[in-house]
């Protein structure tokens, strides 16, 4: 029996499209998590919190400061919750919301005293800071914050930053980024697997290698899965899609049965925006991925 803490965090304050918050709400309302919750070998607890906006508020041009403060509210809540659940020995499944939530998830894991590596599935490097970002969207900043760079409030979500050492992070699916992000990560020698339209690799094989590599240096590993890492023809319902990307099947193979992997500490799935979906394709993909997490 494994204890699983399912955490639905409905915050889109870090994204350009605030309605990214509604991914968590959609997952809850459509009962997508039922196969996990009903699994006889799992003991689940579900948390839900929302920092949603009214339709009127969504049309506001919120200041950088307001958005940062709201991102900090959501990530602080998430960090505290994750720390407690990890200390209980639970597997954490975090569903967003936008990718700025990763600052809360993984600093919470670190604060719980866990020695872990992280596989980051994404089209983007998410390694901006307020100095380099043109959009000032915090969902483009979690990787730099987790590595101890950028805004003090973000990186200090960890009791003793940085949350991650460069060798503890492996990125996969990367194909849309700015040169400042690339320079920052390459200088730190973070492993990055580029997945351009004209260049692809076996993403499942790479995931397996990454997992094994991280487990040579750490006792556990986690996965941060931005659904835009997948080819947008499978998952169009996301705010910043990028052409090319990982085949849905490769992600399914990678995440198959991960809830039962004793070496895996947790998984987060972010950037699902049901309002941008086409013919419920992303909804169907999300549902399939959830079923995969517990299939042996």
> Residues in the site for Mn ion, rule: CB under 5 A?
99, 122, 124, 126, 226
State the CB neighbour count (10 A cutoff) for residue 31. 10
Q: Which is nearer to Mn ion, 4 or 68 (CB)?
A: 68
Of the residues 99, 128, 206, 218, only one is catalytic, namely 99
Q: Which is nearer to Mn ion, 108 or 140 (CB)?
A: 140
And the tokens for 117? Answer: 């590596």
For residue 278, the minimal CB distance to Mn ion (Å) is 20
For residue 263, the minimal CB distance to Mn ion (Å) is 24
For residue 122, the minimal CB distance to Mn ion (Å) is 4
Q: Which is nearer to Mn ion, 44 or 268 (CB)?
A: 268
Distance CA 183, CA 155 (A): 19
Decide: 228 and 238 in contact? Cβ < 8 Å: yes
Question: Would you call 226 a catalytic residue per the annotation?
Answer: yes
Distance CA 104, CA 248 (A): 26
For residue 272, the minimal CB distance to Mn ion (Å) is 12
And the tokens for 36? Answer: 């996990």
Query: Going edge to edge, which strands form the sheet with 264-270?
Result: 42-50, 2-10, 91-95, 264-270, 220-226, 116-121, 169-174, 191-194
Name residues whose C-beta falls within 8 Å of residue 91's C-beta, 6 or more positions apart in sequence.
2, 3, 4, 5, 259, 264, 265, 266
Q: Which is nearer to Mn ion, 44 or 269 (CB)?
A: 269
For residue 255, the minimal CB distance to Mn ion (Å) is 16
Q: Which is nearer to Mn ion, 68 or 99 (CB)?
A: 99
Of the residues 22, 228, 231, 268, only one is catalytic, namely 228
Of the residues 83, 126, 261, 277, only one is catalytic, namely 126
Question: Would you call 115 a catalytic residue per the annotation?
Answer: no
Of the residues 85, 151, 271, 277, only one is catalytic, namely 271
Question: Would you call 83 a catalytic residue per the annotation?
Answer: no
Question: Would you call 139 a catalytic residue per the annotation?
Answer: yes
Question: Would you call 206 a catalytic residue per the annotation?
Answer: no
Distance CA 113, CA 244 (A): 37
Decide: 83 and 108 in contact? Cβ < 8 Å: yes
Distance CA 296, CA 294 (A): 6
Question: Would you call 126 a catalytic residue per the annotation?
Answer: yes
Of the residues 83, 124, 231, 268, only one is catalytic, namely 124
Give the catalytic positions in this structure: 99, 122, 124, 126, 139, 226, 228, 271
């Amino acid at each position: 029996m494994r204890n699983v803490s399912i955490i639905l965090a409905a915050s889109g304050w870090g994204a350009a499209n605030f309605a990214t918050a509604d991914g968590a709400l959609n997952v809850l309302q459509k009962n997508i998590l039922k196969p996990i919750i009903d699994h006889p070998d799992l003991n689940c607890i579900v948390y839900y919190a929302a920092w949603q906006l009214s339709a009127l508020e969504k049309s506001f041009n919120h200041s950088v400061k307001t958005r940062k403060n709201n991102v900090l509210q959501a990530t602080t809540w998430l960090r505290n919750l994750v720390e407690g659940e990890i200390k209980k020995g639970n597997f954490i499944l975090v569903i967003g919301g936008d990718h700025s939530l990763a600052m809360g998830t993984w600093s919470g894991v670190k604060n719980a005293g866990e020695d872990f590596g992280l596989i980051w599935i994404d089209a983007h490097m998410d390694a901006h800071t307020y100095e380099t970002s043109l959009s000032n969207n915090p969902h483009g900043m979690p990787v730099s914050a987790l590595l101890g760079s950028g805004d003090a409030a973000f990186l200090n979500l960890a009791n003793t930053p940085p949350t991650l050492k460069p060798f503890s992070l492996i990125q996969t699916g990367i194909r849309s980024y700015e040169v400042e992000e690339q320079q920052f990560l390459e200088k730190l020698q973070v492993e990055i697997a580029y997945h351009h339209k004209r260049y692809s690799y076996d993403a499942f094989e790479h995931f397996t290698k990454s997992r094994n590599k991280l487990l040579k240096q750490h006792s556990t590993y986690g996965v941060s899965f931005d659904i835009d890492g997948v080819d947008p023809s499978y998952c169009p319902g996301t705010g910043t899609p990028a052409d090319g990307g990982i085949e849905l099947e490769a992600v399914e193979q990678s995440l198959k049965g991960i809830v039962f992997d004793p070496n895996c500490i947790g998984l987060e799935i972010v950037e699902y925006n049901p309002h941008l979906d086409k013919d419920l394709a992303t909804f169907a993909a999300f549902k399939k991925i959830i079923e995969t997490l517990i299939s042996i």
